[in-house]
Structure 1
């Protein structure tokens, strides 16, 4: 994917210098951290080109013409600790003493008007999540499996789902060919017949909760029947896992097969994440995956590290879940 913006060295340094004034930790006091970042916008620390790029992202999303954007040469912490694969989140919070990457992701969320979302029972309720292989999930269907991931939306089976996901490349082995793929919902839906779309809009389908969610919350219960398609192009789908619900009519199975065939045929966008790259994309109005084309050192590949945020489409979308806030922290839900 082509980059919407490549920050200059001067612009990057300007941001890093501004982030240096932030004393609050995003893991100890996220509201204070967020407010400090907001002050940088007020104080005109943010480069004009980045503000214009954020405006372009907002406009593209509002018009539904582009659902994925790339920024390059974005600020990343100079001193990145080794996280290992047993408990990367805990290691980060013990060893990472600067928050440059977190500040940039928070800034991008603010200037695109997409408030961040966190889950209280995942990774300590953090708003900034580490996409790093975790030993107990190797080979399983999760983004923490150290391998490929099928096309999906994050948190497919959950009632509160992010509208947008943003990834920042922290440590990306340059020798490996690993791609994040994205299919816009509008492009996929265009491959389907009107009859298939009609059936996909009915609650004839079910998606199991992912293994990480079940480990974090033993009270999730069984999956609930849901439609795959809603609205203009909003999808709820996890390839190879979403299936027809009990009692679904035969046409539901035919529609699911048609969707799978369309997903195989439809052109995909792909981006190879590098250090300092940002890939921000629609979680619901699209599907994303991870492909490993060539891995030269499997051990080193397990250290690949992307910093990730979930976000609501806008303040109104966030406020619709205000009754679910945990500990009074806006954006943190108990899902």
Structure 2
């Protein structure tokens, strides 16, 4: 994918300095961190090119031009430690002392008016996640895996799901080829008959929770009944997991079969996230996956690290869930 904006070296260095000395830690006090980022915007200390890029991203979403964007050469923390893969989240708290990458992601959220979302049972309620291999989840279908991820949208089984995802390349393999694939929901609809679209819009499907969710909350085993297709072209689906709730429903299995065929037929977008790349995609208005194309140095690729955020479509979408904010922190849902 072609970048909508590339930071100049001057702007990259300037913003990096501003984000290095914020005086706020997003993992101990997110609201203070969020406000500090808001002050940078108010004081016009964010490069005009990035502000304009975020405006164009929002406009292209509103105009339904595209739901996938790349910003390149973003500021990153100078020190990007290697975390202990026996417990990388706790090790990050100990080792990571600057929050430049987190600042870039928070700037994106504020400048596109897409407030961040976090889950009380995921990474201690953090708003910033690591797509980073955890030994406990090797070979699984979670963001902590060390291998491929099938077509999905994040948190498929959960009642509250992000509208947008952002992925920032913090440490990426230079030799091995790891691609993020994205398919727009409108592409999928081209290959699904109106009759089967109606069946996919029925609350007739279920999705088991992923391994990390089950480990975080034992009550999370299988989703409630849900639609597979909703809104204009939003999909709620995890490949190999989402199934009709009624195993005897031939009609819903046929609709699912045609949907899976559509995944094979649709035009895809690919991006190899490299250090400093910020990939922003719709989580529900399309599907994404991770493809390991050519891996010669598996142990090095296991150290691949992306910073990630979930975001709501807008303030109104966030406010729908105001009654389940944990401890009154806006965006942190009790899940």
Distance 1:195 1:246 in 2: 19
**RMSD of aligned Cα (Å):** 1.0
213-222 or 281-290, larger mean C-alpha shift: 213-222
Distance 1:330 1:13 in 2: 31
For the 8 Å contact 1:84–1:303, the answer to whether it is kept is: no
Q: Deviations over 1:112-144 (max 9, x none)?
A: 100000101111110000000111111112222
Q: Which residue of 2 aligns with 1:180?
A: 180
Q: Which residue of 1 aligns with 2:226?
A: 226
Distance 2:95 2:163 in 1: 31
Q: Deviations over 1:245-303 (max 9, x none)?
A: 12663110000000111101111100001000000010010100000001121111110
Q: Which runs of 5+ in 2 are unaligned?
A: none
Q: Deviations over 1:83-140 (max 9, x none)?
A: 1311111111100111000011001100010000010111111000000011111111
Q: How does 1:127-146 map to 2 (within 5 A)?
A: 127-146=127-146
Q: Deviations over 1:144-197 (max 9, x none)?
A: 210000010000011000000000000001111000000011111122111111
For the 8 Å contact 1:207–1:238, the answer to whether it is kept is: yes
Q: What SS class does the counterpart of residue 32 from structure 2 fall into?
A: helix
Q: Normalising by structure 2, what TM-score? A: 0.98
- The CA deviation at 1:222 is 3.3
Distance 2:219 2:290 in 1: 29
Q: Which residue of 1 aligns with 2:30?
A: 30
Q: What SS class does the counterpart of residue 223 from structure 2 fall into?
A: coil
Q: Deviations over 1:217-269 (max 9, x none)?
A: 01225332211001100110001111111266311000000011110111110
Q: Which residue of 2 aligns with 1:21?
A: 21
Moved over 4 A (4+): none
Q: What SS class does the counterpart of residue 330 from structure 2 fall into?
A: strand
Q: Which runs of 5+ in 1 are unaligned?
A: none
For the 8 Å contact 1:85–1:302, the answer to whether it is kept is: no
- The CA deviation at 1:47 is 1.2
For the 8 Å contact 2:181–2:289, the answer to whether it is kept is: yes
Distance 1:248 1:211 in 2: 27
Q: Which residue of 2 aligns with 1:195?
A: 195
Q: What SS class does the counterpart of residue 327 from structure 1 fall into?
A: helix
For the 8 Å contact 2:158–2:223, the answer to whether it is kept is: no
Distance 1:289 1:80 in 2: 25
Q: What SS class does the counterpart of residue 58 from structure 2 fall into?
A: helix
Aligned: 1:49 with 2:56: no
Q: Which residue of 1 aligns with 2:4?
A: 4
Q: What SS class does the counterpart of residue 59 from structure 1 fall into?
A: helix
Distance 1:240 1:30 in 2: 35
Instruction: Kindly tell me the number of residue pairs found equivalent between the two proteins.
Output: 335
Q: Which residue of 2 aligns with 1:125?
A: 125
Distance 1:84 1:191 in 2: 45
Q: What SS class does the counterpart of residue 290 from structure 1 fall into?
A: strand
Distance 2:254 2:247 in 1: 14
245-254 or 306-315, larger mean C-alpha shift: 245-254
For the 8 Å contact 2:150–2:290, the answer to whether it is kept is: yes
Aligned: 1:328 with 2:331: no
Q: Which residue of 2 aligns with 1:251?
A: 251
